Structures are given as structure tokens and as C-alpha cells.
């Protein structure tokens, strides 16, 4: 893809009353009400590049522009002379790869975590010789071919899949699509080893890229509590905490989810581990399942609830916190005395304090006393950009319950 040199790029200028300090200090986004939007700038094609200037016409770097998005510009490179091309992409991917190779023995991880890896709106998960890219910003959609080629250059991959689905793309004005950019789409789910368990990732038909790597360290902590335990994993997806618990010697795991395909993958993972006889799956609404288990008098030494984002944005925060409280209230009575409850949130709009308070209220209303013994976050292959709270979305609270 041809990328004009900086001298040829259009100019995007901050409004006079907009303070540029946050952007100069690393905040990666520019909102529509912070820049001069006239007929010229509104006519820039989404995904194009421009030079961002402050109100004194001093250059601040190269940004990608999308006039139809609330986030109208995203910082690509603080060097106003930068050329965003395949070589530039390879440099950013190489830097991301160096971190993951230091952290992990096997090539199964999140390779690129969007803004935190200097590639705004772009997610790349690696599954051995295959990678799945999610271009959630217009520039990444336009340059998806260059991104795939750079991945081959840097990582020597044989297959690159584009997964163009999700709410983030709609906010950028992008349509859904799924295709193999390089190589052939796999005919069967991919086996992914993680924390001694085996997961099956459906990279063409599963949620997101097919597997959630972010919970890896929280799976590992749960494994410390799982040996010999009866485990309940609610909102399990493809086996999540349940398979990790089985790998650590849990007596039995019950996995609950509303998706039959996801549960089939969980069962396949358990079979691949030789643990199929210790797994039970329940296809059911999670709230109804917990109510049903309580009516049956069920009890577990370890209960984990890892729901989808109930508060994906600020307007949903109040309702989302009520939902998290309800999860805690229904889950708490299912924990055996002295057992453990793990509650998770992937809602960036609900910060740690708000989520912790909602969880504690729910546990209390479920008639239980608690100790908070551990707070977990996403793994280091999901680095956080300190200036961008949204990049630190995942929280996992581990409680020991009495009473």
C-alpha cells in the first residue's frame, strides 16, 4: 500500500482551547470536539493518515483519521516525518514479538494489544503458525494486507486470518467480514496448550479470535485452589477456568454456558487432556443455572464467574454493576464453607473499586462473609498503556467465603 510522505499528508489541527499536553505525554486518542473539523478535514477518507498540529501549528506526530468516529484521530507515531508502511508495521510487530518471546515458551499469546503496543485499534492473537488479526480501526482495515505480510516477514507465519466482527468495528463505520488473508483457514479447531490444560480455539467461528488469552494468570491462580475440589465455572466459554482446574487435579468441573458450540469445544479440550470423565457441561442461561443449582442444594469448593462485559461503556455502567452484584449474590450460596469464589469483569467502564464494591455487596446479600485474598488482571501479553484506562479492562477478584 502506498503511503505518502509526511510532507504530502493533510494537516489535522487541534482547536485553540484544546490542551495538547495529554497527547504529548502519551494519550493516543483525539476526540471529534478537540480538532478543527471543516469541509476539508471531514472529507478525509477514513483510515487515512495526517499530521496532527497543535493550535500554534507545531507538529505533534502522524495520526490516523476517521471523521465518522467519535475518536477522530489516533496517534500512530510521534515523529511527524514517519511513513506508515509495511516496514514500519514490521518494526512495531518485531518489538511486540520480542516481549512475548521473553515471556512465553510456546507461540500462543496475544501478539499485539492495540494502543499498548503502538498499533491503535489492532489486535493480533497468535496460535502457533497461525495468527488472527482484528482490525478494529479504519486504518488497520485498509492496511490489513500489509499487516498480514508484515506478520509473515517477522514471525514466519503460514496462515493469517482476518476476523472483522464486533462492536468496536461498528463504531468505526466498518462492516463485518471474515477471511483468510494468507494460507488456508483451518478445517478444525486448533489445540492451544495453556497452564497445563488444552483448549480448542475455533478461529473462524468462535468469539473474538477464538480464545481469550487474557485470563491466563488468573487461571493459574485458580489452579492453586482447585486440587481435589469440586469446581463450578459459570460463563465458561470454551472451558476457561474449568479446564485449568482439571489440569490442576480438580475432582470434577461443571461448566455452564449458553453456547452449544462453545461447550462442545470445552468437551473437546477435556477429551484431549484425558479428563472428559471429570467434566460436566450445562447449556443454560447462567443466572437460571445458578438458581437451579441452589435449589438442588449443590455445593462447590471453587466457583468462578467470568461473564461478558456488562458495562462496555459508561451509559451501561449502573445496569452493569447491578448485574455484577446479582452474579455475586447468586454464586455466593453455591460455595462450600471455607471455599473460594472468583468473580471477573472485562468491563473497562467499571473500574476496580466499583466492581469490587458491587461484588462485595452481592456476596453479603447472598448471606456470606468474605475475605478478599487476591486481585488479578490480564497477563503481560496484554500490556496496559497507563494513559489509557481502557487498556486495563480485566479484573479478577478471589474471595474465601465463610458462613
Tell me: the pLDDT tens digits for 194-253?
999 999 999 998 788 999 999 999 999 999 999 999 999 999 999 999 999 999 999 999
Tell me the C-alpha to C-alpha distance, in Å, between residue 42 and each of 6, 10, 39, 172, 191: 19, 12, 5, 14, 46
If you search the block for the grid coordinates 494486507, which residue do you land on? Answer: 145
Give the Cα separation of 347 and 174 in Å (integer): 22
Of the candidates 352, 361, 354, the residue with the CA atom closest to the CA atom of residue 330? 361
CATH (one of 3.30.750.80, 3.30.470.20, 3.10.20.810, 3.40.50.1170) for 86-182: 3.30.750.80
Tell me the C-alpha to C-alpha distance, in Å, between residue 244 and each of 103, 166, 229, 247, 298: 19, 27, 12, 5, 21
Backbone angle region of 121, left / alpha / beta, with phi > 0 → left and psi within -120 to 50 → alpha: left
Give the Cα separation of 141 and 46 in Å (integer): 10
Are 41 and 35 a contacting pair, CB within 8 Å? yes
Domain positions in the chain are 6-77, 86-182, 190-402
Other CB atoms within a 10 A radius of the CB of residue 78 amount to 14
Are 76 and 49 a contacting pair, CB within 8 Å? yes
DSSP output for 59-118: EEEEEEE-TTSSEEEEEEES-TT---SHHHHHHHHHHHHHHHHHH-SSSEEEEEEGGGGT
Tell me the C-alpha to C-alpha distance, in Å, between residue 238 and each of 247, 269, 275, 359, 374: 15, 8, 15, 24, 24
Phi/psi at 131 (nearest 5 deg)? -130, 145
- pLDDT at residue number 26: 93
In this chain, the answer to whether the domains covering 6-77 and 86-182 adopt an identical fold is no
The CATH architecture assigned to 6-77 reads Roll (2.30)
Q: Which CATH class is domain 190-402?
A: alpha beta
Bridge partners, residue 108, by sequence = 127
Phi/psi at 237 (nearest 5 deg)? 60, -115
User: Helix 144-155 crosses helix 86-103 at what angle (to 10 degrees)?
Assistant: 50
Are 324 and 350 a contacting pair, CB within 8 Å? yes
Residues of the chain under the 70 pLDDT cut: 1-7
Are 389 and 27 a contacting pair, CB within 8 Å? no
Give the Cα separation of 108 and 164 in Å (integer): 21
Other CB atoms within a 10 A radius of the CB of residue 185 amount to 13
What's the CA dihedral at 81, 84, 85, 91 to 10 degrees? 90
Instruction: Give the strand pairing for 335-345 and 369-376.
Output: unpaired
Are 173 and 110 a contacting pair, CB within 8 Å? no
Give the Cα separation of 287 and 294 in Å (integer): 11
For residue 244, the SS3 value is helix
Q: Distance of alpha carbon 194 from its chain centroid, rounded?
A: 17
- pLDDT at residue number 150: 98
Burial class (CB in 10 A: 0-12, 13-18, 19+), 21: exposed
Which helix (H) or strand (E) element contains residue 229? Answer: none
Amino acid at each position: 500500500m502506498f503511503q505518502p510522505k509526511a510532507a504530502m499528508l493533510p494537516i489535522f489541527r487541534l482547536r485553540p482551547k484544546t490542551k495538547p499536553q495529554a497527547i504529548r505525554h502519551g494519550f493516543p486518542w483525539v476526540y471529534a470536539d478537540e480538532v478543527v473539523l471543516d469541509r476539508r478535514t471531514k472529507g478525509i477518507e477514513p483510515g487515512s493518515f495526517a499530521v496532527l498540529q497543535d493550535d500554534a501549528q507545531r507538529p505533534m506526530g502522524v495520526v490516523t483519521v476517521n471523521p465518522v468516529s467519535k475518536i477522530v484521530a489516533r496517534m500512530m507515531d510521534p515523529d511527524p516525518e514517519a511513513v506508515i508502511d509495511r516496514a514500519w508495521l514490521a518494526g512495531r510487530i518485531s518489538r511486540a514479538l520480542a516481549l512475548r518471546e521473553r515471556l512465553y515458551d510456546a507461540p500462543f499469546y496475544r501478539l499485539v494489544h492495540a494502543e499498548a503496543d503502538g498499533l491503535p485499534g489492532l489486535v493480533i492473537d497468535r496460535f502457533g503458525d497461525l495468527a488472527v488479526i482484528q482490525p478494529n480501526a479504519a486504518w488497520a482495515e485498509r492496511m490489513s494486507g500489509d499487516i498480514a505480510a508484515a506478520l509473515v516477514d517477522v514471525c514466519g507465519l503460514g496462515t493469517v486470518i482476518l476476523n472483522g466482527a464486533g462492536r468496536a468495528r461498528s463504531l468505526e463505520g466498518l462492516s463485518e467480514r471474515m477471511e483468510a488473508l494468507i494460507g488456508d483457514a483451518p478445517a478444525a479447531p486448533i489445540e492451544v496448550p495453556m497452564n497445563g490444560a488444552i483448549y480448542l480455539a475455533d478461529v473462524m467461528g468462535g468469539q473474538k479470535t477464538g480464545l481469550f488469552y487474557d485470563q491466563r494468570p488468573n487461571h493459574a491462580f485458580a489452579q492453586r485452589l482447585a486440587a481435589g475440589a469440586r469446581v463450578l465455572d459459570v460463563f465458561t466459554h470454551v472451558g476457561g477456568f474449568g479446564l485449568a482446574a482439571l489440569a490442576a487435579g480438580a475432582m470434577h468441573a461443571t461448566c455452564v454456558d449458553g453456547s452449544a458450540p462453545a461447550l462442545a469445544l470445552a468437551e473437546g479440550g477435556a477429551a484431549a487432556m484425558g479428563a472428559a470423565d471429570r467434566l460436566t457441561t450445562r447449556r443454560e442461561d447462567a443466572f437460571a443455572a445458578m438458581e437451579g443449582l441452589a435449589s438442588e442444594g449443590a455445593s462447590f469448593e471453587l466457583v468462578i464467574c467470568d461473564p461478558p462485559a456488562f458495562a462496555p461503556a459508561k451509559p451501561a455502567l449502573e445496569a452493569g454493576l447491578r448485574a455484577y452484584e446479582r452474579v455475586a449474590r447468586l454464586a455466593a450460596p453455591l460455595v462450600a464453607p471455607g471455599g473460594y469464589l472468583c468473580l471477573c469483569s472485562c468491563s473497562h467502564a467499571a473500574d476496580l473499586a466499583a466492581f469490587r464494591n458491587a461484588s462485595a455487596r452481592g456476596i453479603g446479600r447472598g448471606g456470606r462473609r468474605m475475605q478478599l485474598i487476591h486481585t488479578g488482571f490480564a497477563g503481560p501479553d496484554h500490556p496496559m498503556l497507563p494513559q489509557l484506562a481502557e487498556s486495563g479492562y480485566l479484573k479478577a477478584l478471589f474471595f474465601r467465603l465463610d458462613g
